[in-house]
């Protein structure tokens, strides 16, 4: 299984990933995105979120 990961140091907190996949991504305590449930959406939904990230800080592990 692929697992999405967020490079939090590059996250600009735009919230796009959270609005596209709220069952997978959320803001952490520093207001940066994190992947809290990698099984919360389909691989295609997560890939669309990765593709939409404006700073490309989300990728597959």
5-50 pLDDT, tens digit per residue, is 999 999 999 999 999 999 999 999 999 999 999 999 999 999 999 9
pLDDT at residue number 1:
78
pTM: 0.94
Is 4 buried (19+), middle (13-18) or exposed (0-12) by CB count in 10 A?
Answer: buried
- The structure tokens 């990698």 sit at 38
- Ordered structural domains, the chain, with CATH: 4-60 (3.30.70.20)
pLDDT at residue number 8:
96
pLDDT at residue number 5:
97
CA–CA distance, 46 with 30 (Å, rounded to integer): 22
């Amino acid at each position: 299984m692929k697992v999405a990961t967020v490079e939090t140091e590059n996250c600009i907190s735009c919230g796009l990933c959270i609005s596209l996949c709220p069952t997978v991504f959320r803001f952490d305590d520093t207001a940066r995105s994190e992947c809290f449930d990698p099984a919360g959406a389909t691989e295609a939904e997560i890939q669309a979120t990765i593709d939409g990230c404006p700073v490309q800080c989300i990728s597959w592990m």
